[in-house]
Amino acid sequence: MSVIGSGYKLGGISLDLRHITAFVAAYEEGSINRAAQRLNLAQPSVSGILRDLEAEMGTALLERLARGAHPTAAGETFYRHCLKVLAEVDAARKSVMAGADRVAGPVNIGLAPTVAKGLMPRFIATYLADFPDVQLRIAEAFSGPLTEWTLSGDVDFAVVAVPPVDRRLVTRRLSPDPIFLISAPDGLAARSSGPFSSLPPVKIALPSQNNGLRTMLDRYIHSVGMTVERLVEIDSLHGILELLKRSDWVTLLSLTSILKELDRGELAARRTDPPLDLEFYLVHPARRTLSAAARIFVQRLEQAFADMAAERARRSL
């Protein structure tokens, strides 16, 4: 990684991007040694940069401990401002590289399975046709891996069902998505009515505990008094749906990803009672801005969410 060394004055304090990147790395890694590894610099060099920064600021920003480095109150405040500076630098770089009005360049995206299957196909072909200079790469995963990929920079942004609590990320709510009981066409979703507390014991397929959505589903099952006869954990949307089509197993899932299966009569669905809603969120690194191509992708995704909500209303689902 190259670090820009040209300095500037901020309120009489001389800073450059070496100070900011070194501090952000130490803050996020919780260790000056790991920060040095991240920046491909020698540890003494990073320590020197941080000492110079604290001397310029006139206060300690990090507390050096045997097991790492932890921010002081001043360090917490400074970190928030550093993220804004890095985001502005990133925005300037993207603007210059892409040109003022050109929508182009690579965009790496992570999507939750429901979004990848149920919403992306509604607009992806038109998006690619409208912006031939965009190189798109889309990966599908559950919320945990998507958050990790966003933090590591493997994706520019992700759409997740479980919002991470992490100051390194910007999180924005996109849309609610109601949850339904899903079964085979002649299964429990088609045959039952009334509150879920009155359902017979269910054999239910759910994502594993590695998926943050599982915690929400477990709480709901417990709170409404559903009786689970048997549970299978499947971290694959396709795998869960194929099991349901061929058996008396059920799941709790958004309709967004299965409208085609409902239209073909392969599955049945009924609204959770009492109702349960999933929320989808956009997450991206706080120190980076979304490119023009990424912002337009998100805009079209939000329109797809709105269109899906209107379709559910028309179907009275």
In this structure, the answer to whether residues 89 and 160 fall within a common structural domain is no
Determine the Cα angle at 137 with ends 136 and 140, to 5°: 135
Walking along the chain (317 residues) 10 residues at a time, the average pLDDT comes out as 44 73 88 90 90 88 88 89 82 68 87 94 96 94 92 94 89 94 96 95 94 90 96 94 97 91 95 95 92 94 94 82
Please check whether residues 133 and 262 belong to one and the same domain.
Answer: no
Q: Are residues 149 and 293 in the same domain?
A: yes
Asked if residue 2 is part of any domain, the answer here is no
Copy the structure tokens of residue 21: 């990147």
In a domain, 52, yes or no: yes
Residue at which a domain ends, from 70, 98, 126? 98
- Residue 4 has a pLDDT of 40
> How much is the pLDDT for 210?
81
260 in the same domain as 122: no
Cβ-in-10-Å burial (0-12, 13-18, 19+) of 27 comes to: buried
pLDDT of residue 3: 42
Residues 81 and 116 in one domain: no
Q: Domain range for residue 138?
A: 105-175+279-314
pTM above 0.85, yes or no: no
In this structure, the answer to whether residues 182 and 269 fall within a common structural domain is yes
C-alpha to C-alpha distance for 148 and 136, rounded to whole angstroms: 20
Same domain, 78 and 162: no
Burial class (CB in 10 A: 0-12, 13-18, 19+), 28: middle
Q: Which of 124, 218, 143, 175 is nearest to 308 (CA)?
A: 175
Quote the pLDDT of residue 287: 85
The number of distinct structural domains making up the chain is 3
What are 102's two structure tokens? 């050109």
77-93 CB burial, b ≥16 within 10 A, e <16: ebbeebbebbbebbeee
- Region of 86 on the Ramachandran plot (φ > 0 left; ψ -120 to 50 alpha; else beta): alpha
C-alpha–C-alpha distance, residues 70 and 30, integer Å: 6
- At residue 81, the pLDDT reads 86
What CATH number is associated with residue 66? 1.10.10.10
